[in-house]
Structure 1
Amino acid sequence: MLLPFVNGLKGEFILKSYAIGIDIGTTSTKVVLFDEKGAAVAHHAKSYPLLAEAPGAAEQRPDEIYEAVVFSLRETVRKSGDLAEKIGLISFSTAMHSLIAVDADGKPLTNSITWADTRSESYAFTVKSSPEGLDLYKRTGVPLHPMTPLFKLQWLKNEHTEIFQKAAKFVGIKDYILYRWFGEWATDYASAAAMGLWNMNTLEWDEEALLMADVTPDQLPVIQPTTFFWENLSETLAKISGLDSSVKVVIGATDGPLSNLGVGAISSGDVAVTIGTSGAIRTTSETPVLDAEGRTFCYPLTEKHWVSGGPVNNGGIAFQWVHDLFTEEEMEGSYEELSRRAVAALPGAEGLVFLPHLTGERAPLWDAQAKGSFIGLTLRHKKDHMVRAVLEGTIFNLYQVYSLVKTQAQEKADVKIFATGGFTNSPVWKQILADVFQKEVSIPEHTESSCLGAVQLGRFAIGETEVLREVSEDTKQYGTVMPNAEHKEVYGELFEIYQSLSKTMESQYRAIHEFQNRFSK
């Protein structure tokens, strides 16, 4: 069902079948206009810097992101031309775990402290080491890590007390933008969950987590379902965008769950794998799925769709590292040449194992001090083996996260895997994924999965479809990679070795980290 709109000037009915997805990412905001079949017809993106002005800091300027959203929205509408009058809704996706302190007038007192900020590491470690830590995870579904706003709030209270006391609200970046447009402080279930302050059982702020953070519900946005929407544009937004005021605005969700929806991994048990600079693996279920040791996340897409899995710090960045190590000059096709080196080595890299924790690690270790390592080096190992080991190690790490989730969720035989991200440009890396998982891998042709997922959720929210699953089957076109059964045994055995080595090395990371801090230049 598509919603008709009456053009008041001409008395004509215009089918408002087009929709805009806005994805507020860590490095840029992307705005994409989709037709009723899910095809992108106009888009614009604007990037912004990540500020690292102190050790462990990773911040962004809220107003700079706001301007990027406004500019990208306006440009997308301009590029859409006459199609602009057919736009019926705007829906949001956002990066997780941001935190901004604002005053009583809604003005930022801090930058947006992003997920990548690690300055609250000691606070996260204290709670993780306490008897209350696992109980907190079981109520919130969020691993105990400095990315989580709960620990950012503890850090802010203790190390920037004046700002903490002056703050009227603590909000996320999407909350801030919607406040600028509608004058209301609102956040969705998924964004609330990512704060580590939301109880997945009550769908409200968690009382014990609030006590840990020393904040009250009044200091946080009002929690809304991900399907909540404003019936009309505000005067501010209508003027900014150039759209008709009848356009609806759906609050949306966070980028991880929406990416699952956007690629089609919405049926229970389906898996979405993304590898860009970092990476993530997420699977969908009808009820929350938690890890007994708190190593995986669980966030809502809706009350009946839950996304579990984990983000990893080290994806394409590991490939970039080995590229820079072995390639003295950046040349056209140098990454492709490096991929061919990996093809030259046998699966398993003749027993060379790479733990890819070059920038610390989130899932499954949740250890900001984790380090990367090659294990098993011998005189016979060459560059080819090292490159292949790097690619295999990143996939083993994701498979280790998935192994935790599937154990809890009881994996189905007909699981589908959907893969997105820059790694899909490497045929050998895609094949390694299929061979380690021993599953067919589908690669969607479109790349803006979070924007498309936001639009799909938006159409469900305003009643254009009654079942969220139906929306994900519209016009998907995929490339596929089939697993090589001959590689099942070698990867099965090597993965067991990888898991054992990963566990063994955990006890050494703190000592290595402290040594490096003392003796590095």
Structure 2
Amino acid sequence: MTANELPTTQAITLVSAPAPYVLAIDIGSGSTRCSLYDAYARPIKKRIAKADHLFVEESDGTAEIDADLIVAEVADVIGQVVEGIEPGLIRAVVMDTFASSLVCVDARGDALTPCYTYADSRSAGHLAQLRTRLDEAEVHQRIGARLHTSYHPPRLLWLQDEHPDVFARTAKFLSLGEYVYAKLAGIEGAATSTMAWAGILNRHTCELDDELLAAVGVERSRFAPIVDPDEPITAVSPDVARRWPALEGAAWFPAVPDGYASNVGVGASAPDTAALSAATSGAIRVIVDGTPDVLPSGLWAYRISRTQSILGGALNDVGRVTLWLQATLAPLSYEEIDELLRAAPEDGTPLMLPFLTGERATGWAGSARAALTGVSSASGPRELWRGAAEGIAVSYQRVFEQLHEVSPGIERVIASGGVTGAFPSLMSVVAQALGFPVQVVKVKRVTMRGAAAIALSVLQPEHPLAIIPQTARTEPDAGQREYYDDLRRRFDEAYAAIIAS
């Protein structure tokens, strides 16, 4: 079949969908979703279910969710999606989840704690302790991640100090995906990428980092065995087939982080293509062979298998900035926003450092907050919106600059996420800042599709996937380069004066 003959990612009816089928599950920050995909990674119509949920968040930094609630949600959406499907058609179950997460489990396999999410910052004091005891630059080069409250090391120290009884009773430290699999299918195994996103995997050896585990007082035996994405688990509990006959004989692929699945879902699974996500938060990521010898200070490098890594950096605030502007400071119509973001830049536009909830890449200043400078009596909603968009674009540029340095083979940047649909002209500003073309792809539920594609690449490695519809490329205008170079200079100066200091 030629590329012109391949179908697109548009949903297809069950009667027309070729097998094998993959059951994909996505556990996000706001919902659990489940969908059935065909042999081309196309969603099957009327075979999708969703359950909404929310993190429990408190002013002390709490950001958690009931792990058993998620187990129940997953069981429910699976039941809805597979009802009436004949056994043998569904060849695989695969899952992606938000990353990172931690559930303490006792010897019987029951949760002793809620699921602590990536957003839980109660370990900030213990993070500070770790930074005084360890050489963070050295840790970053070994692990591929900076010391941060979203990762396991400070959280494990916090658990020992704040909940010593729970810590002592914990037989296993699991991610949320591992816990769900253990409860529903009796499966033990952590994806390579899951352990990398937890901040405890040595990116050079692909094993848990003994030096870091020793620093936080946890033995390697308290974590599950590491499983690569091409190693599905078929030895599952007989309860699976009794509960869901349609899943009899299906292989269960290890749950992976949503960032990895998102890259695959938009077609950015090779070193020449970077994926730019723009939702509430944002990121730029590229999948490469091996792992870089030296990692730039602003990026992370997570192993996704023994042969590949995913490199990139994340932004806390992208869509969150647009929501804040519309709700508080500078509400405009979508037509007005589209017009002003497509227009040429203007001198005198206010400068925004868009860190409403702290900074991840590239400076990792978790306590940073947004700043507006250059505001005058002539600055209205349009000028504030433009300044915020330029601040977001420069934040992407700072990540892309380091990413391109370590992965110079990047030829394409493809963008996806809710912001690209709500504010498509923002990608014009981003392309100008990057000095690189940006192309938006149109595909729904990219992380869940990506998870399905990961499984299909193992089930039928020679079978092609559906074509992802794309828009025209947004090309940077060389005539605006001088403005954006000066914008970057002003951004860096403001960052150094307000945040770095």
Match of residue 102, structure 2, among 99, 105, 112: 99
Contact 1:15–1:86 (8 Å) recurs in 2? no
Give how far 1:238 is off.
2.4
Q: Where in structure 1 are there 5+ consecutive unaligned residues?
A: 2-13, 329-333, 509-521
Q: Within 2, Cα distance between the matches of 1:39 and 1:16? A: 11
Equivalence for 1:77: 82
2:449 corresponds to 1:444? no
* Residue in structure 1 matching 2:322, options 319, 343, 346: 319
Q: Does structure 1 conserve the Cα–Cα contact (< 8 Å) formed by 2:187 and 2:233? A: no
Q: Tell me the CA shift for residue 84 of structure 1.
A: 7.2
1:176-191 superposed matches below 5 A = 176-191=179-194
Question: In the alignment, what sits opposite 2:4?
Answer: none
* Match of residue 86 from structure 1: 89
1:20 to 18, 23, 38: 23
Could you tell me how far 1:491 is from its partner in structure 2? Answer: 1.8
* Distance change in 2, residues 1:235/1:368 (3 Å): same
Task: Give the equivalent residue in structure 2 for 1:455.
Answer: 452
1:236 aligns with 2:228: no
Structure 2 residue identity aligned to 1:380: A
Q: CA deviation at 1:399?
A: 1.5
* TM-superposed deviation, 1:353: 1.2
Matches within 5 A, 1:4-43: 16-41=19-44, 42-43=47-48
1:357 aligns with 2:362: no
- CA spacing shift, 1:178–1:131, aligned 2, 3 Å: closer
- Aligned-pair distance for 1:382? 2.1
1:505 aligns with 2:475: no
The Cα shift of 1:230 comes to 1.9
Residues of 1 paired with 2:395 and 2:154: CA distance?
26
Equivalent residue for 1:150, pick from 125, 148, 153:
153
Q: Secondary structure at the match of 1:19?
A: strand
Once the two structures are TM-superposed, the CA of residue 388 in structure 1 deviates from its matched residue by 1.0
Instruction: Give yes or no for contact 1:420–1:447 (8 Å, CA) kept in 2.
Output: no
Question: Aligned letter for 1:417?
Answer: V
1:491 aligns to what? 484
CA distance in structure 1 between the partners assigned to 2:346 and 2:217 by the alignment: 50
Q: How far apart, in 2, do the equivalents of 1:106 and 1:505 lie?
A: 48
Q: 1: CA distance between counterparts of 2:430 and 2:196?
A: 30
Which residue, out of 428, 432, 448, partners 2:429? 432
2:81 partner letter:
T
Indicate how the Cα distance of structure 1 residues 245 and 131 shifts in structure 2: closer, same or farther if over 3 A, else same: closer
Q: Residue by residue, what CA displacement relative to the aligned partner does 1:91-136 show, whole Å, maximum 9, x if unpaired? A: 1212111011111111111100000001111222333345522221
CA contact (8 A) 2:39 2:456 kept: no
Compute the displacement of 1:338 (Å): 5.4
1:418 pairs with 2:414 = yes
What's the offset of the Cα at 1:148?
0.5
Report the CA distance between 1:314 and its aligned residue.
0.6
Partner secondary structure for residue 36 of structure 1: coil
Residues 1:456 and 1:502: Cα distance change in structure 2 (over 3 Å)? same
Greater mean deviation of Cα atoms: 491-500 or 187-196: 491-500
> Is contact 1:356–1:372 with CA below 8 Å preserved after alignment?
yes
Give identity over the alignment, percent: 23
1:64 and 2:69 correspond? yes
The structural deviation recorded for 1:195 is 1.6
Alignment of 1:105-254 (within 5 A): 105-231=108-234, 234-254=237-257
Deviation of residue 501 (structure 1)? 2.1
Alignment match, 1:10: none
8 Å CA contact 1:62, 1:173 repeated in 2: yes
Unpaired runs of 5+ residues, structure 2, are 2-16
Q: Normalised by the size of structure 2, how large is the TM-score?
A: 0.90
When structure 1 is superposed on structure 2, of 184-193 and 292-301 the one drifting more is 292-301
- Match 1:52 to one of 57, 60, 64: 57
| Aligned with residue 404 of structure 2, among 403, 406, 424 | 406
Match of 1:382 in 2: 380
Deviation at 1:319, TM superposition (A): 0.8
Please name the residue that 2:391 is paired with: 393
Partner SS for 1:479: coil
Length-normalised TM-score, structure 1 = 0.86
Structure 1 residues 348 and 407: CA distance shift in structure 2, 3 A? farther
- Compute the displacement of 1:227 (Å): 1.8
Deviates more, 1:481-490 or 1:213-222: 481-490
Partner of 1:258: 261
Give the Å deviation of 1:435.
Answer: 2.1
Secondary structure, in 3 states, of the residue corresponding to 1:354? Answer: strand
Q: Which is worse superposed, 103-112 or 431-440?
A: 431-440
RMSD: 2.4
Cα 1:185/1:87, change in 2 over 3 Å: closer
Given that 1:323 and 1:335 are in contact with CA atoms closer than 8 Å, whether structure 2 keeps it comes out as: no
Once residues 348 and 269 of structure 2 are traced to their aligned partners in structure 1, the CA distance between those partners, rounded to angstroms, is 37
Q: Quickly say closer, same or farther: Cα 1:104–1:200, change in 2 above 3 A.
A: same
Partner secondary structure for residue 379 of structure 1: coil
In the aligned structure 1, how far is the partner of 2:347 from the partner of 2:88? 56
Q: Displacement of 1:166 after TM fit?
A: 1.6
Other-structure match for 1:512: none
Structure 1 position 438, deviation (Å): 3.0
1:288 and 2:291 matched: yes
Distance 1:344 1:38 in 2: 34
Report deviation, 1:154: 0.7
Q: Could you tell me whether the CA contact under 8 Å between 1:273 and 1:281 is conserved in 2?
A: yes
The residue matched to 2:155 in structure 1 has which SS? helix
Alpha-carbon distance in 1 for matches of 2:468, 2:224? 36
| CA separation of 1:292 and 1:461: change in aligned 2, threshold 3 A | closer
In 2, Cα distance between equivalents of 1:340 and 1:254: 33
Number of residue pairs the alignment of both structures matches: 482
Match of 1:519 in 2: none
Instruction: Report the CA distance shift for 1:185/1:122 in structure 2 as closer, same or farther (over 3 A).
Output: same
Task: Note if contact 2:285-2:311 (Cα within 8 Å) is conserved in structure 1.
Answer: yes
Instruction: Supply the AA of the counterpart residue of 2:55.
Output: L
SS in 1 for 2:57: coil
